[in-house]
A and B are shown apart, each in its own frame.
Chain A
Amino acid sequence: MNGKVLFVNPERCTGCRNCEMVCSVFHSGVSNPSRSRIRILKWEEVGLYLPMTCQHCETPVCTEVCPTRACHKDLENQRVIIDPKKCIGCKTCIMACPFGHPFFDPVDRLTAKCDYCDGNPQCVLFCNPKAVSYIEADQINLEKKREAANRLTNFLRQGR
């Protein structure tokens, strides 16, 4: 996969939902989390949060099931996008996506999904704990290895 992608680190997420707010403001002009294209899965009782956004899969299921081809893969940028002029709001892509990503916009009555804010993701800009970052796809493994190394170092320090 080429280009930049959103990388989520759930351990850093505090569940503040700032990302949802800025996403909805950027895309719809109102501060309404139900219109956001990033959602926080929450386990409030134990304080665990998981920011969920489009994975822009290499072989996306949502594009296969879309009856109108509104949901399609932009081969140039390797991104999955929804054409709002073709979308009929049937919610088939929402049902099909294993990550539960495309969301139904209750105002526009269409399905909306993350489009990386035209290359400048607002969720990344406004995420204070840096739980979401926008990095080159081939650096994701490096990032994961770095996190694992940090965890191991911390663990060993605690052991002393």
Chain B
Amino acid sequence: MPESLRIGRHLKPQDHWGWIIAIYLYLAGMGAGSFIIGIIIHWSTVSTKLIEIPLFSLHFDIAKATLLWGPVLVTMGAPFLILDLGIKRRFLYACLNPKTSWVARGFLILSSFIVLGWITLLLSSLPLLSSYIGASGLRGLESMALLLAVATAIYTGILLKSVKHVALWNTYLLPLLFLISALSTGSMSLLMGIFAMKKSLLQGVFSSSLIKMVMETEQILILIEGIVLVIYLYRRNLTNSQGEQGGLSVRLLLKGKLKFLFWGGIVLSGFLFPFVLESLFSQFPEYPILFWFAGILLLLGGLFLRYGILSAGVKNRIPMERWIEAQHLLKSLRIKER
């Protein structure tokens, strides 16, 4: 009987943080992941394609801009945090308590990454500007932006991990899962950008061996992400003692109200289909539609992953609730005895 009480009380998704926060975490993670992969490619290969901006007679390196466009995605995601606030005009107050609040720390990390990322993007893409600070200065800026990108990708998981009374979130596996998902969705968004401009502006810039290597890395990331997700859910499922609701959260995700989102949106759309379609595309590169489907499904899967984990974050039961349920159990046992 107490079991049914517990299920009736708790097996519904949490609704304080919903789609808006999921989109914010997703775009922040994807943008940071895209920047990390992009800068690694940028450092390891010499890819340049200058085009002239007509009005200002400036040269613009479209190849580097494609690789380092991550901050644009993070900038697109930041307004979603503001959109979720009750009083939106007070959003600048959100950085007043970085000493103990992860929301405030995240605000500072993301803002710093957006500012430094845009500076890096502009300096790397505009040879006229980069000549002022020199190659070593630019490398230093890129390194700092890379560090902030890693911090941004990990932060999206740390924010949830800091909520100690939600067993599903309170694990270091969550920042790891979100970091790998950020790299996976980020590399896919990067590949989609390259493919979109491959036949026009970026013709012959990125070698097919490089693209193949990024695609293989992408597939490995999907596999690692899948393994981490399984370990994460398995470990959380074990936390079901002393009022911890990890098991119930996992059940909510796998069998409860979120099952369609989990199996359809996360497992099929986020892992299985993209992996199979990408493998098929590597065998049949003459069908680019396979790649585009894989890309869109993977990006959607990344969003569903964040929304699913957010929604399934059920709070642990407090001692008072457990006490009430224990009392009810005693009463029902007494009635049975009579």
- By a CB distance below 8 angstroms, the chain B residues around A65 are 100-103, 162-163
The 8 closest A-B pairs by CB, nearest first: A89-B86, A109-B86, A67-B104, A67-B103, A98-B165, A68-B93, A67-B101, A64-B100
Instruction: Tell me, yes or no, whether B307 is within 8 Å of chain A by CB.
Output: no
Q: In the complex, what distance in Å separates the CA atom of A132 from the CA atom of B163?
A: 29
Instruction: Tell me, yes or no, whether A25 is within 8 Å of chain B by CB.
Output: no
Instruction: Tell me, yes or no, whether A116 is within 8 Å of chain B by CB.
Output: no
Q: In the complex, what distance in Å separates the CA atom of A109 from the CA atom of B162?
A: 24
Instruction: Tell me, yes or no, whether B213 is within 8 Å of chain A by CB.
Output: no
B-side interface size class: 35 or more
- By a CB distance below 8 angstroms, the chain A residues around B9 are 41, 43
**Which residues between 1 and 55 of chain A lie within 8 Å of chain B, taking CB atoms?**
8, 10, 41, 43, 45-46, 48, 50, 52
Instruction: Tell me, yes or no, whether A88 is within 8 Å of chain B by CB.
Output: yes
Task: Assess the A95–B328 pair: CB atoms within 8 A.
Answer: no
A76 CB → nearest B CB, Å: 21
**Which residues between 43 and 82 of chain A lie within 8 Å of chain B, taking CB atoms?**
43, 45-46, 48, 50, 52, 61, 64-70
Q: A64-B101, A67-B95 are in contact. Are A96 and B86 (CB under 8 A)?
A: no
CB-CB contacts of B80-110 with A at 8 A, as 1s and 0s? 0000111100110111110011111001000
User: Which residue of chain A has the shortest Cβ distance to B160 in the bound complex?
Assistant: A95
Query: Contact partner of B87 among A66, A89, A91, CB < 8 A?
Result: A89
**Which residues between 100 and 155 of chain B lie within 8 Å of chain A, taking CB atoms?**
100-104, 107
A12 CB → nearest B CB, Å: 13
User: Which residue of chain A has the shortest Cβ distance to B106 in the bound complex?
Assistant: A67
- By a CB distance below 8 angstroms, the chain A residues around B318 are 98-100
- By a CB distance below 8 angstroms, the chain B residues around A43 are 5, 8-9, 324, 328
Q: In the complex, what distance in Å separates the CA atom of A157 from the CA atom of B17?
A: 51
Task: Assess the A46–B164 pair: CB atoms within 8 A.
Answer: no
Instruction: Tell me, yes or no, whether A92 is within 8 Å of chain B by CB.
Output: yes
Query: Contact partner of A92 among B95, B103, B164, B313, CB < 8 A?
Result: B103
Q: In the complex, what distance in Å separates the CA atom of A141 from the CA atom of B241?
A: 27
Task: Assess the B315–A88 pair: CB atoms within 8 A.
Answer: no
User: Which residue of chain A has the shortest Cβ distance to B9 in the bound complex?
Assistant: A43
- By a CB distance below 8 angstroms, the chain B residues around A104 are 16, 86
Instruction: Tell me, yes or no, whether B316 is within 8 Å of chain A by CB.
Output: yes
Q: In the complex, what distance in Å separates the CA atom of A96 from the CA atom of B170?
A: 11
Instruction: Tell me, yes or no, whether B321 is within 8 Å of chain A by CB.
Output: yes
Instruction: Tell me, yes or no, whether A125 is within 8 Å of chain B by CB.
Output: no
Q: A41-B9, A43-B8, A109-B86 are in contact. Are A90 and B96 (CB under 8 A)?
A: no
User: Which residue of chain B has the shortest Cβ distance to A108 in the bound complex?
Assistant: B86
Instruction: Tell me, yes or no, whether B166 is within 8 Å of chain A by CB.
Output: yes
- By a CB distance below 8 angstroms, the chain B residues around A68 are 90, 93-94, 96-97, 104
**Which residues between 161 and 186 of chain B lie within 8 Å of chain A, taking CB atoms?**
162-166
A-side interface size class: 35 or more
- By a CB distance below 8 angstroms, the chain B residues around A94 are 16
Q: In the complex, what distance in Å separates the CA atom of A8 from the CA atom of B319?
A: 13
Task: Assess the B103–A90 pair: CB atoms within 8 A.
Answer: yes
User: Which residue of chain A has the shortest Cβ distance to B159 in the bound complex?
Assistant: A92
Q: A88-B86, A89-B87 are in contact. Are A50 and B321 (CB under 8 A)?
A: yes
**Which residues between 282 and 327 of chain B lie within 8 Å of chain A, taking CB atoms?**
313, 315-316, 318, 320-321, 324
Q: In the complex, what distance in Å separates the CA atom of A20 from the CA atom of B144?
A: 52
Q: In the complex, what distance in Å separates the CA atom of A96 from the CA atom of B315?
A: 9
Q: A65-B100, A104-B16 are in contact. Are A110 and B324 (CB under 8 A)?
A: no
User: Which residue of chain A has the shortest Cβ distance to B97 in the bound complex?
Assistant: A69
Q: In the complex, what distance in Å separates the CA atom of A97 from the CA atom of B103?
A: 15
Task: Assess the A109–B87 pair: CB atoms within 8 A.
Answer: yes
Task: Assess the A50–B320 pair: CB atoms within 8 A.
Answer: yes
Q: In the complex, what distance in Å separates the CA atom of A94 from the CA atom of B313?
A: 13
Task: Assess the A91–B5 pair: CB atoms within 8 A.
Answer: no
Instruction: Tell me, yes or no, whether A87 is within 8 Å of chain B by CB.
Output: yes
User: Which residue of chain B has the shortest Cβ distance to A8 in the bound complex?
Assistant: B320
- By a CB distance below 8 angstroms, the chain B residues around A89 are 85-87
